[in-house]
A = this chain, B = another copy of it.
């Protein structure tokens, strides 16, 4: 595990100032926070809370979940990450959102895709105009079935004509 100096999946630069940004707000720089930041700086942008706890434990076996979650809240307030909920409702953290974006979630294969703000722009504007509702795009998580899984499913249906049958009410 030691990863002597490489594997920087997200830009290290962005994390460099965290300590000072915390201090500037009267918040503190602690070993536990340092551990989490290090884990985050190595992550590829999409992680669940439980995964983060797990990875923190790799560096510091004494890691306590509540500490991690509380720190994640703080970092979210600093704008260093955002979270949404997967199709199953579990927390999913998005590290260093370079651009404001939402997520697409395939209920069959579980894959996640990002959707850029402009893809949702129509919806956002329409809700804003018609209801004055300001959508939090970063929290937006859309469930459904991806093209691959739809194809697989169609093929299966064609083969054993009859198939599973149920629960596809929404796949118009």
Contacts and interface: CB of A to CB of B under 8 A. Distances in A.
Interface stretch (A4-12, A34-42, A64-72, A162-170): A162-170
A169 B100 contact: yes
Contacts of A90: 89
The interface size bin for chain A is: 35 or more
Contacts of A29: none
A106 to B, nearest CB: 8
Interface in A127-172: 127, 130-147, 150, 166-167, 169-172
Interface in A72-123: 76-77, 79, 85, 87, 89-91, 100, 104, 106-107, 113, 115, 119-120, 122-123
Given A79-B169, A100-B170, A127-B142, A136 B107 contact: yes
Given A119-B127, A120-B123, A132-B146, 17 more contacts: A77-B166, A89-B91, A104-B127, A107-B136, A119-B123, A119-B126, A119-B130, A123-B142, A132-B147, A133-B147, A134-B171, A135-B143, A135-B170, A136-B171, A137-B170, A138-B169, A139-B143
Interface of A: 76-77, 79, 85, 87, 89-91, 100, 104, 106-107, 113, 115, 119-120, 122-123, 126-127, 130-147, 150, 166-167, 169-172
